[in-house]
Amino acid sequence: MKFTQLLYKQHIGKAKRYVWQHQRERKIVVSKAEEILKSMNFLVQDATEFISRKPKTEFVSSQSALHNNKMIENSIALKESTLDVNSKNYLVFEDYNVLQEGVPQALLLTKTVKLNDKLPEKIQKLITDIPKNINNLSKRSVYTSMIYDAQQVKLPKLKDPDRPAWVFPRMYGITSTRKMQNLSKKFLQLCESLCGLNDAQYKSVIHDGLLSACIGKEDNFLKFSLKIDIMMTSSIPLVPIADVNIDNNFDIPDLYPLHYSIGLSKLDIGNSKLLYPITMDSPLMNVHTIFINHNPEEVKNLTELPVTEDQIHARSMIKSFGAAASCAQQKFGLSVKELPEPIVIQCIQSDGQNFHFSVYQLNTLDIDGKEGIKNFWWSEPSIKLYEEALYKNGQPCLEGYNTDVFKRYLAFYKNK
């Protein structure tokens, strides 16, 4: 109701309130008292801060002690690494990280040269045609692990970038991790049966092993803390593929204006233990092949931009390097730089459909600069195992099956 003289006469209460509501905010010009007092060297404190001050409590130390005694599964802690916290920067590459610049950055980071866009000749010779009955067996493994598996869980949400508001019906099925692990186990078993007891008795398989290696590079310390989904170890180490002092034309790439550590996160110095899944005195401690899973839901860029194929390949390389480095530190001691004998490691990375095969030869752990002995890496482009593997009209359907994948599995298994 409009506030008129008449209303005022009738309702003095409303009038008071009206005045109050318009006058309750008072603008006050701040005086220069604080400045003047400060110029006379008086200590000026904010009154509200002074009141809300709390006495300090001393629970912090006991909390952090609890945190340190966390159990570690699937791995054996070597020793508490003696990281000198103040002198250097600590950078960490976690399991779900990818390198911003992909392969060139990985090569620079680990002082590695990529020798060829092919696997080494020794392994290429082992890739042979396989008879039809074995081909059928491998195809059956694909059916059982990709289609017949009984897992039914919620799959990741689908999004169409052109129609971002559209909500797809939620799909249930087999996760890519499950597919990859199923297939790797089945293929390994098939390889074991094909090669016989003579090969199999020297080999052992570890699931979900945790690795952690810490290596100094120039002004930084790099920590690789990785999970290896399946790790095949053997009592006989793989024979070095190329000569350490080989004179090659391949150069380590230059990333200017970027630094080799771009995109790596700073280490939280809470848990800095060095881990390796096998004890040193085990006869089966040499790494033979690592099978790693690329789960697109977990492995992401820091910026959440789509992960490129180059970055996935770089992840293979970093994982191989991490595994080889921690194996070398086990074998030759923590302070080893130039290895007495190179360590060779084979790596298969997969998301259930795409497979990336690579071989890494670790020659040195002295990764400063670009000169001197370098590490070697052989890698192939990714290959697809199949085009489609799903139920169509209620019938299992596998389209575009590629036999190359199993051939390479077998070659990697046979390699000594």
Partner 1 sequence: MSAMSLIGCAFARQIVEVCSKAASVSVQLQPKRSQWNLVKKPKPGEKGKSYRRIVHFQDNYTVEPLNVTNLAGRDPVTGRVVAKGIGGGIKHKYHWIQWIRDGPIDLNVPPKEDKVLAVFKDGCRTSFVALVGGDNELRYILATENMKVGDIIRTHRGIPVNHVRAFEGDAYPLGALPKGTIVNCIEKYPGKGGALIHAAGTCGMIMKSDGDRVIVKMPSKKEFSLHQTCMATVGRLSNVLHGSTPIGSAQKNRELGNRPRSGLWQRKSGKHGRKLKAPTPVRKIGVGESNAPKTEILLLNHRPLNTVKA
Binding-site ranges for partner 1 (CB under 8 A): 16-17, 20-21, 24-30, 100-101, 164-165, 257-259, 261-264, 302-305
Q: 294 and 345 in contact (C-beta within 8 Å)?
A: no
**CB closer to partner 1 out of 28 and 197:** 28
**CB closer to partner 1 out of 218 and 251:** 218
Residue 357, Ramachandran bin (φ over 0: left; ψ between -120 and 50: alpha; else beta): beta
| Residue whose C-alpha is closest to residue 404's, from 206, 226, 187 | 187
Quote the least distance from Cβ 305 to partner 1, whole Å.
6
Quote the least distance from Cβ 36 to partner 1, whole Å.
14
The span from the CA of 228 to the CA of 210, in Å, is 6
Quote the least distance from Cβ 57 to partner 1, whole Å.
22
Quote the least distance from Cβ 99 to partner 1, whole Å.
12
**CB closer to partner 1 out of 173 and 263:** 263
**CB closer to partner 1 out of 161 and 333:** 161
Q: 117 and 381 in contact (C-beta within 8 Å)?
A: yes
**CB closer to partner 1 out of 84 and 304:** 304
- Sign of the Cα torsion 59, 64, 66, 67 reads positive
Q: Find residue 399's DSSP bridge partners.
A: 388
Q: 257: cis peptide before it, omega within 30°?
A: yes
Quote the least distance from Cβ 175 to partner 1, whole Å.
24
Structure tokens at 81: 């690494």
**CB closer to partner 1 out of 34 and 251:** 34
Quote the least distance from Cβ 101 to partner 1, whole Å.
8
The span from the CA of 38 to the CA of 34, in Å, is 6
Q: 308 and 102 in contact (C-beta within 8 Å)?
A: yes
**CB closer to partner 1 out of 30 and 85:** 30
Quote the least distance from Cβ 68 to partner 1, whole Å.
24
Q: Find residue 359's DSSP bridge partners.
A: 346, 378
**CB closer to partner 1 out of 247 and 268:** 268
Sequence-distant (≥ 6) Cβ neighbours of residue 266 within 8 angstroms: 89, 90, 91, 92
**CB closer to partner 1 out of 21 and 41:** 21
In order of 114, 208, 209, 275, the CA distances from 75 in angstroms are 31, 9, 6, 6
The span from the CA of 396 to the CA of 126, in Å, is 32
Quote the least distance from Cβ 348 to partner 1, whole Å.
29
Quote the least distance from Cβ 78 to partner 1, whole Å.
29
* DSSP code for 100: T
Q: 338 and 328 in contact (C-beta within 8 Å)?
A: no
Radius of gyration of the chain (CA): 31
| Residue whose C-alpha is closest to residue 293's, from 216, 180, 383 | 180
**CB closer to partner 1 out of 161 and 340:** 161
Quote the least distance from Cβ 263 to partner 1, whole Å.
6
How far does CA 353 lie from the centroid of its chain? Answer: 19
Secondary element (H or E) of residue 357: strand 354-364
Q: Is 181 helix (H, G, I), strand (E, B) or coil?
A: helix
